[in-house]
Structure 1
Amino acid sequence: MKAQSNRDRLTLARIDAFQCPPGKQQVFLRDTLSPRLAVRATQGGKAFVFEGTLDGKLIRITLGDCRDWPLESTWSGKGANRKEIQRGARQEAARLQSMVDQGIDPREAEREQKAARAAKRAEQERVRKEAEARAKHTTRALLEAYSRHLEAKGKRASAAATRTMFERHVFTPFPEVADKPARDVAPLEIAAIVRRVMEKGKERTAGALRSYLSAAYNAAARAPFDARLPSDLIPFAVEVNPVQPIAAIPVKPRDRTLTPDELRAYMNGLGDELADQALRLALYAGGQRIAQLLRARVEDWSPDTKTMRLFDAKGRRQTPREHLLPLAPKAAAMVSDLVTRAKEQDAPHLFFQRRRRMDAGTPGKRLAEIAAAMGGEPFTVADVRRTCETLLAGMGISREIRAQLLSHGLAGVQVAHYDRHSYADEKRRALAKWERRLAAIAAEKPAKVVNIRGGK
């Protein structure tokens, strides 16, 4: 059915009176003042429409409901300050006709503008999300996530060490780097962090700090491709490790060992406190790692075989290695007393305080107190362990048995896949011989002090 058409100068009154007759789908009332403008009336309402001709074809564009569009534009201000507040239907029709006169299809132009606006909104949203991600995935967040990863793998001591290192040498002195997106950190910024520690004369600490930072960034860079790494490292979007250009700092191995007189004084300085008991057991068990002893549980002790089970998580092991120690009488008695104490208080670990496992740093602090009271050159838990192995070597205990006894250097294809010997008898004999050596040192008289300046 052909639409009915009338032409008259549009006024608000004429538009209001214009209606679509019953039985008609639509009728048009075209403007004489703006020939391209018309009102289309249907049974559902009235709307302004633009009608033009492009390349011989009719273009009809609906402007909008007559109740929403004014017939004429409304303005504010005068002269140069005159500003259009709301465009009227006549002015919009004139604008569309101007485009048609230039050979532009207003419909195509509108689609392009909508696409451009949509693209702009999408880009703004992308930039916003990226800014949020960068603000969230900072260096601080990455290093904290890496520490949590170590803890989740059971490397609690390493996790604690990294947290302390990062807080002391990154977060506190370099907050601007800590709060910077991790992926934007530059090698020069990492170099400044490491150099600050080096210039304080802490070469070993600087080397460890560089190593921890490199490990954290490497983990983040590998996370998208390594299912063994936590997925929360992936959003950091690290592609390049900024620590890589920083020269590695070789750690000078410590060579401090205790003399027999120092070892005797150390043993005499150990009391009955729980931290002292941990230090004493580590010594009598051949120089075991304190962290491994503190993880020991009641069920790790076999009273029948006098064997203590430890778990060595050190290094890159995915699963801690079982480390069995067939103890000699004195060390076995120490463990038996600790097991009795734990059972009486219904505690799972041998070394506990207030029902919580003893912190790994507690024995080290106690050792430092004993060393300070002794005077002379300070020493550490690691120095005591080194002393034990040195003395064991002097007693004729082979390197292979020492490695089994102290759970170190056990790598390579032979150990990993072929050597399944338990070395229980060899370790038991070595520890029995070791207890006799400690008893002899404890019984020796201190060396006489000679005045080399000539006095009596």
Structure 2
Amino acid sequence: MARNTERLHLTLERIRKLQPPPGNQATYAFDDDPKQLCVRTTPAGAKSFVYAGKLSGTPLRITIGSTNVWNLDDAREEARRLQTLIDKGIDPRELEREKAAAKAAEIAAKEAEQAATDGKKQYTLKALCCAYCDHLKAKGKTDSARQARSILNVHVFEAFPDIATLPASEIDSDHAATMIRKVIEQGKERTAGVLRSYLSAAFNAARKARFDAKLPSELIAYGVKDNPAEIIATIAVQRGNRTLNAEELKTYLAALSDTNLSDQALKLALFSGGQRMAQLLRAKASDYDQETQTLRLWDSKGRRTTPREHLLPLAPKAAAIVEKLIERAHSLEAARTKKEDREAVHSKLWLFSSSGKTQLVDTTPGKRAAEICKTMKGEAFDLRDIRRTCETMLAGLKINKDTRGQLLSHGLSGVQAAHYDRWEYIAEKRAALAAWEQRLDAIANGKKPSTRRK
């Protein structure tokens, strides 16, 4: 270490006049009080205050700081402090390392605390429910995702915003019971049961996400350990038994126009034997084979991982409705753009769309059916009751149970249905729908039914 031979009483002016040394070694100008303080000047001209002493006989150098930052009095005070520590047998470097470690631990603790706070704000009950709905949609459970999102939005997010914004990991059974009980008190037992099921499913997914690779990894971050809805008793819902009689069905048919899009959806659902509205509304122009007058639907209901193809060989009136809808869809598209060729556009067109861009919302036809029901001023009914009426009347036409199950795409499960029975029942379904249209014609004209044996 190059150094001046004589000690100086360092002053600001003397420090300013220190020149960069030649060569590649720094020089050190020592103060006279305290003797351990010096100024290091590098060949590049950088100047720093340095403590230069001994620890247990071993030379010790500790940089105090730049002369541009530290003033001379503070540097002298720091040098005396370091010497005092050494006189006590304390290594200042170890002390600084301990302070740095303590500071790092303090920062880490604050960051962990902030992360926990941010996590509570981010991983709420509402966020968990939305993530679960996204999971359903990603699995192809579009209808279930839409229904879950609607029920959770109305009966959790809007009805209980204070609970919805709590961390999902802090939701307990009392919270879940409070939300479900309110729906029951509104007289909506079926909805309450569905709400309980969706809450339970969302918490189960988050709870199992760490150990099930098929579940989204983002659910792990919610830190859910328990299912607060699990302890709540399942809600038994009485099965519906409402069916429309011939006179009611005649009135219902007469109320359906040929111009209203929802009416057309209701009419097609009826003439196709009571199909599920959500499946009909997902149909596109490309799902219809005009040569065979067959409409293809996709049934994603239940535990299926992929939607099941559901073919409907339509009778003349139902086929006419579909063909008119396809013409309407092409007209809407032609009004929007003429750049794509007809065949390419055909595969993208929704049968039921107000604007041509998106499918008709699946709750809209149900609301229209409710309007018709009110005008009839009789016992209330909904789309499930219409579907039940169709199957009941099909049974009255002697359409056997297996054919009805295939026609209405009931829960076709079990080993036989899942793995071995690949017969599409096209002829049986076509005959059933032809007989059904005849029955509807008779009802519309006030004629009594005629039975048919199959």
What TM bracket, shorter-length normalisation?
A: 0.7 to 0.9
- Aligned-partner Cα distance in 2 for 1:344–1:171: 40
- Aligned-partner Cα distance in 2 for 1:252–1:103: 85
Kindly indicate whether the alpha-carbon contact (under 8 Å) linking 1:392 and 1:402 is maintained by their aligned counterparts in 2.
yes
Shift, 1:96, TM fit: 1.7
Relative to structure 1, the CA distance from residue 68 to residue 263 in structure 2 (aligned partners, 3 Å threshold; closer, same or farther) is closer
Tell me the equivalent position of 2:404: 402
Shift, 1:58, TM fit: 3.1
Relative to structure 1, the CA distance from residue 48 to residue 338 in structure 2 (aligned partners, 3 Å threshold; closer, same or farther) is closer
- Aligned-partner Cα distance in 1 for 2:21–2:310: 98
2:292 pairs with one of 305, 314, 323? 305
- Aligned-partner Cα distance in 1 for 2:201–2:184: 19
Tell me the equivalent position of 2:171: 185
Kindly indicate whether the alpha-carbon contact (under 8 Å) linking 2:315 and 2:434 is maintained by their aligned counterparts in 1.
yes
Relative to structure 1, the CA distance from residue 409 to residue 95 in structure 2 (aligned partners, 3 Å threshold; closer, same or farther) is same
2:398 corresponds to 1:411: no
2:329 corresponds to 1:327: no
Relative to structure 1, the CA distance from residue 333 to residue 28 in structure 2 (aligned partners, 3 Å threshold; closer, same or farther) is closer
3-state SS, counterpart of residue 248 of structure 1: coil
Kindly indicate whether the alpha-carbon contact (under 8 Å) linking 2:8 and 2:29 is maintained by their aligned counterparts in 1.
no
3-state SS, counterpart of residue 59 of structure 1: strand
- Aligned-partner Cα distance in 2 for 1:282–1:122: 62
Tell me the equivalent position of 1:37: 37
- Aligned-partner Cα distance in 1 for 2:46–2:445: 113
Shift, 1:42, TM fit: 5.7
Kindly indicate whether the alpha-carbon contact (under 8 Å) linking 1:312 and 1:322 is maintained by their aligned counterparts in 2.
yes
1:100 pairs with one of 38, 62, 86? 86
Tell me the equivalent position of 1:166: 152
Relative to structure 1, the CA distance from residue 263 to residue 100 in structure 2 (aligned partners, 3 Å threshold; closer, same or farther) is same
Aligned residue pairs total 430
1:21-100 correspondence runs (5 A): 26-31=27-32, 33-40=33-40, 44=45, 46-72=47-73, 88-100=74-86
The aligned amino acid for 2:37 is L
2:254 corresponds to 1:253: no
| Cα deviation code 1:252-308 (max 9, x no counterpart) | 322222233322332333332332232222222211112222222223222332322
Relative to structure 1, the CA distance from residue 60 to residue 424 in structure 2 (aligned partners, 3 Å threshold; closer, same or farther) is same
- Aligned-partner Cα distance in 2 for 1:21–1:231: 61
Kindly indicate whether the alpha-carbon contact (under 8 Å) linking 1:5 and 1:30 is maintained by their aligned counterparts in 2.
no
Kindly indicate whether the alpha-carbon contact (under 8 Å) linking 2:21 and 2:41 is maintained by their aligned counterparts in 1.
no
Please report the TM-score for the alignment, with normalisation by the length of structure 2: 0.82
The aligned amino acid for 1:170 is V
Tell me the equivalent position of 1:390: 392
The aligned amino acid for 1:403 is G
Please report the TM-score for the alignment, with normalisation by the length of structure 1: 0.82
3-state SS, counterpart of residue 246 of structure 1: coil
| Cα deviation code 1:409-429 (max 9, x no counterpart) | 111222121111111122222
Give the CA RMSD over aligned residues: 3.2
2:374 pairs with one of 372, 396, 415? 372
- Higher-Rg member (1/2): 1
| Cα deviation code 1:49-89 (max 9, x no counterpart) | 334443333333222234433332xxxxxxxxxxxxxxx22
Relative to structure 1, the CA distance from residue 410 to residue 18 in structure 2 (aligned partners, 3 Å threshold; closer, same or farther) is closer
Shift, 1:380, TM fit: 0.4
**Identical aligned residues as a percent:** 52
Relative to structure 1, the CA distance from residue 417 to residue 114 in structure 2 (aligned partners, 3 Å threshold; closer, same or farther) is same
Tell me the equivalent position of 1:428: 430
- Aligned-partner Cα distance in 2 for 1:111–1:5: 33
| Residue segments in structure 2 that go unaligned for 5+ positions in a row | 334-345, 449-454
Relative to structure 1, the CA distance from residue 205 to residue 15 in structure 2 (aligned partners, 3 Å threshold; closer, same or farther) is same
- Aligned-partner Cα distance in 2 for 1:41–1:444: 112
> Which has the higher mean CA deviation after the structures are superposed, 252-261 or 37-46?
37-46
1:123 pairs with one of 100, 109, 120? 109
Relative to structure 1, the CA distance from residue 69 to residue 419 in structure 2 (aligned partners, 3 Å threshold; closer, same or farther) is same
- Aligned-partner Cα distance in 2 for 1:34–1:276: 98
The aligned amino acid for 1:312 is D
Kindly indicate whether the alpha-carbon contact (under 8 Å) linking 1:197 and 1:203 is maintained by their aligned counterparts in 2.
yes
2:264 corresponds to 1:264: no
Tell me the equivalent position of 2:265: 278
- Aligned-partner Cα distance in 2 for 1:109–1:168: 60
- Aligned-partner Cα distance in 1 for 2:198–2:285: 34
Shift, 1:406, TM fit: 0.5
3-state SS, counterpart of residue 317 of structure 1: coil
Relative to structure 1, the CA distance from residue 51 to residue 376 in structure 2 (aligned partners, 3 Å threshold; closer, same or farther) is same
- Aligned-partner Cα distance in 1 for 2:192–2:438: 41
Higher relative contact order (CA 8 A, sep 6+): 2
The aligned amino acid for 1:428 is R
| Residue segments in structure 1 that go unaligned for 5+ positions in a row | 73-87, 447-456
3-state SS, counterpart of residue 311 of structure 2: strand
- Aligned-partner Cα distance in 1 for 2:90–2:254: 100
- Aligned-partner Cα distance in 2 for 1:333–1:20: 98
